Amino acid sequence: MSRKLPLGEGETARTACARGLLRTGVEERGGEVLSAAVLSERVGWAADLVSGMAAALLAEHWNTGDVDVLARGEDAGGRALPSNAWMALRRLGWAVGPSEGIRVNDRIVRMAQETAGRTLRSAKWRADLTAAVIATWPADPARRTAEEWDAVREAVPGGRSVPSGVIKSRTRQIAAFVKEHGRMPADVFEVEAAPRSARMLLLSACDGQQDTIERHETDPGRALLRLQLPTRPHPRSYADWGWVACPLALPPTIPANVVLHLPTLRIHQGRVRADLAYTHAVPKIQRTGHVVALGVDWGLNTLLSAGAARLHGDGTITALGAGAMFRAAGVLAKQHRLRRQGEHLHTKAGHYERLIGGAEEHYLTGRHAVLADEIRHVSYRRSNLNDALARAAARWAVDQAITAGASVIYVEDLRSMEARGMGRSINTRMSQAVRGRIVDRMRHLAAEAGIAVVTVPARGTSKRCPHCLVPLRHRKAPDRPTTPGWKWAVCGSCGWQGDRDQGAWRRIAARGLTHQTKTVTDRTSGAMTIRTVVDRLEAGAVITAPPPKSSRTDRSKTGPTRHRTTRPAPRRRRAPSPARPSGSAGQRPEGHAHTDRTRLPRAAHRHQGVTTISTPTTSRHRPRGAALGAGFHLHTHATPPRWAEPMPDTTTCIGSLS
């Protein structure tokens, strides 16, 4: 199977990931079919061996010196370290092995070194951030001054693009350490213990001697994964390892003409999950040269507000439509309730821990274990809810861009989304929103269609008018123009008014189109962003109002007006009578009863009085009559003559005048 992906003109390679499930396996040595439970058990044995060795590596090298050496990218001889973490650790001489008496092959050790190396590399950024916060410790940790903010951002690598909430979280962590120990920590490795090693198998660090994956020749929706697994928890020799062939059903999101890579296996709820990586061809993403753009603004209950704008050749920008909103009030409320529940459980568990005090046979130990399980369950529910919300919101935004024919999505920069000044409850709900995950998912989905996702500064997007850049007056609602609020915006200069978020996406789209030459790409993550606002370009970032609507046809009079009667026909005569149904039912123009009824309602068989339309008779022809309340009559009969009943004498009550 070829590992090289052929690319065409204007295409680039993109690696994505999809979820799979290993349901069964076949042991190649004896042909035994392994059930899902047995396969999960054997994969778990291998994952335990890998995580144990990775934890030993992390505990040994969890310090500033080793992390700096690994992050420097050079060995003792000055040679560049390989990009693979396991190869870099071996070049540095950081070896590891299993416990005494346990026999594993070299590929199992590779997976442990790859897991530990990735964790140590990711710790470098946290170490630099913590060192910068410690070096520029403010006088009041709860409230930094403007000069202290500038100092800490200068000390942090790339601090101008770091959200202020991240710096505040690290400051609170250090303040808690100071309160507990009475001194400042030396580095992040004193504040944080070595992280736990994930219980998973990174098969991408191995080669064909440990595992292989091949796609089915005739059925592109199936693949075969072969890997070596232990036959016992503590293998003593190589004979305790055997090859297992696992048929794998590929998700429908994986195209047929892709290159499959070795997956990552992990145990989840007693089942073996496979994170399938694959490389496929997608259109190249352009940094500049965009004509149609989608602007996206963030909100609270209205999570996303988006609309498209077009840049014309003369430099003017017009909005394409009125925009749309992605409302997730119910999901966000559920997320808020789960957060409150999790906080309550954590508080109760902490109280139990204080009461237990380290005693092994305390009567509250069982209750504490139950609380721990419930905390994990609530955390899992929150994670699933956030993941589902991020996928739905990102899919909605990308679909809006595809429908409008946009080549770029301009998103409000997340650094400005700091929740403050709106009350404790609203601030917490805004800070818990999964905006970062939505943007990551948006970049992932937009890359499939060749659409760029660029973050733009959010300064003044909701404050100024999208048509004339004059500061807006914000009111509570359009029918309450004198009540202060924040939802409805009114411009006192050009007269524009609308929803605050609807005006914000216009400003974001216009700012992105005018500043697209200032777009920069991050080398490590590949994310595109516009970092600064140029006043000269901002002056042209306005939405041109559409011209007044006019009729496209000439409606001038060319002849005499056609005469129309002043007495239109009755309503029942304006429509033709329906076709006569086959059966004994009559025909009617209109009414409430169905014309295709072959059987009369029960009320039609009653003997009715003379005041009704139909009366019983003893002649040969017996009319079937009309049913009271059943609609139009089935047989038309004349109303009985007026002489059938004696006329009232109006003179009998007249008395004498005398």
Closest residue by Cα to residue 531 from 456, 459, 462: 456
Where does CATH 3.30.420.10 sit in the chain?
285-328+390-538
361-404 pLDDT tens trace: 888 898 999 999 999 999 999 989 999 999 999 999 999 999 99
pLDDT at 608: 46
Residue 422 has pLDDT above 50, yes or no: no
For the entire predicted model, the pTM comes to: 0.71
Handedness of CA 396, 398, 400, 402 (dihedral sign): negative
The 10s digit of each residue's pLDDT in 201-235 is: 999 999 888 999 998 888 888 999 999 999 999 99
What's the whole-number mean pLDDT along residues 241-245?
94
Residue range 193-199: mean pLDDT, rounded:
90
- CB-CB contact of 349 with 372 (8 Å): yes
Distances (CA, A) of 358 to 255, 348, 354: 55, 16, 8
Helix (H, G, I), strand (E, B) or coil at 606: coil
Q: For the chain, how many residues are written? A: 658
Cα-trace Rg, the chain: 38
Nearest to 317 by CA among 49, 624, 538, 6: 538
Mean pLDDT across 328-353: 90
Average pLDDT, the chain: 83
The DSSP symbol for 572 reads G
CB 36 within 8 A of CB 23: yes
For range 160-167, the mean pLDDT: 80
Q: How confident is the model at residue 243 (pLDDT cuts 50, 70, 90)?
A: very high
Residue 230: predicted pLDDT: 94
- Whether 124 has a pLDDT exceeding 70, the answer reads yes
Q: How many other β-carbons are positioned within 10 Å of the β-carbon of residue 406? A: 27
Contacts of 394 (CB under 8 A, 6+ apart): 438, 439, 441, 442, 444, 445
Q: What confidence score (pLDDT) does residue 598 get?
A: 54
Torsion sign, CA atoms 343, 344, 345, 347? positive
Q: Which residue has the tokens 């089942």?
A: 271
CA nearest to 436, candidates 405, 412, 419, 456: 412
| Residue % of the chain over a pLDDT of 70 | 81
Token pair of 387 as six digits: 């993941």
Least Cα distance to 116 among 202, 37, 230 occurs for 202
Q: Which helix (H) or strand (E) holds 132?
A: helix 106-135
pLDDT for 208 equals 87
Q: Which CATH superfamily is domain 285-328+390-538 in?
A: Ribonuclease H-like superfamily/Ribonuclease H (3.30.420.10)
Per-residue pLDDT band for 614 (boundaries 50, 70, 90) equals very low
pLDDT at 655 over 70: no
State residue 298's pLDDT score.
Answer: 87
Please give the Cα distance from 18 to 274 (Å, whole number). 8
Query: Is the pLDDT reported for residue 22 higher than 50?
Result: yes
Q: What would the mean pLDDT of 505-510 be, rounded to a whole number?
A: 93
pLDDT per residue as tens digits for the range 35-64: 999 999 999 999 999 999 999 999 999 999
Contact 334, 426 (CB under 8 A): no
Q: Checking DSSP bridges between strand 452-456 and strand 408-412, what pairing results, if any? A: parallel
User: pLDDT tens, 442-491?
Assistant: 999 999 899 999 999 888 888 889 989 888 888 888 878 777 777 888 88
Neighbour-count burial for 96-117, b at 16+ CB within 10 Å, e otherwise: bebeeebebeebbbbbbbbbbb
Secondary element (H or E) of residue 281? strand 271-283
CA distances from 507 to 60, 318, 460 (A): 52, 11, 9
For the sheet with 292-298, list strands across it: 317-327, 302-311, 292-298, 408-412, 452-456, 528-529, 520-521
Mean pLDDT, residues 551-578: 67
